[in-house]
Amino acid sequence: MRTAAALPLLLLAACSTATVPSPSSPASSSSGAEREIVLPVNESASLGEDFTLSFIAVSSDSRCPARVQCVWAGEAKVVVGKSHPLMRFRPDTLTVRAGQAEDSTEVGPFVVKVVSLRPEPVTTDPVRQADYRATFAVRRR
C-alpha cells in the first residue's frame, strides 16, 4: 500500500520541467483566455505563480483505432499531477473522448483540461507511454 502511495512522487521526481508563456503575457492575461501546453509523458510545465502541471501517464486508452469500425469511439484517461510549494503533490485523472475534453481540474487559479492526446491508435496494439503527447488547455478562472 505504501508503494502505491509513493508512486506519484517517484514519477514526479523523474519529470523534467518545461517553461511556458507567463500567465501575464498578452495572450493569456485576461480571465478566461486559454493557452495550450503540449507535454510528453514525464514532463511538467510551470503555469505561473509557482503552480506546476505534470503529465504523469495514460492510465487507459480505449480509443477506436484508425481504419477500424467501432460501436463506441472510446476514451483515454490521462493522469496529471499538480503542485505548488504550499500544497502537497496531488494526482488527478482527466478523460478525453473522441478528441473532446470531458473533465477539467483546478491547479490554483488555473483550470486545466486535455484537448487532445496523440498519437491516436492505428492498431489494437497499445501505444507506448513514451510516445504520448497531451495538449492541455489552460485558462485562468
The model's pLDDT over 29-60, given as tens digits with 9 standing for 90+, comes to 455 689 999 999 999 999 988 899 999 999 99
CATH architecture of 2-22+33-140: Sandwich (2.60)
Q: Summarize the confidence of residues 17-26 as an average pLDDT.
A: 41
pLDDT of residue 86: 79
Q: Summarize the confidence of residues 121-140 as an average pLDDT.
A: 92
Residue 74 amino acid letter: G
For the stretch 85-112, pLDDT in tens is 877 777 788 877 755 667 888 888 999 9
pLDDT of residue 31: 58
pLDDT of residue 14: 43
Scanning the structure block, which residue is given the C-alpha cell 495538449? 135
Residue 138 amino acid letter: V
Strand order in the sheet with 100-101: 16-18, 43-48, 51-61, 75-84, 87-97, 100-101
How many residues appear in the chain? 141
Indicate if the pLDDT at residue 71 is higher than 50: yes
* Model confidence band, residue 73 (pLDDT cutoffs 50, 70, 90): confident
Evaluate whether 74 touches 99 at the Cβ level (below 8 Å): no
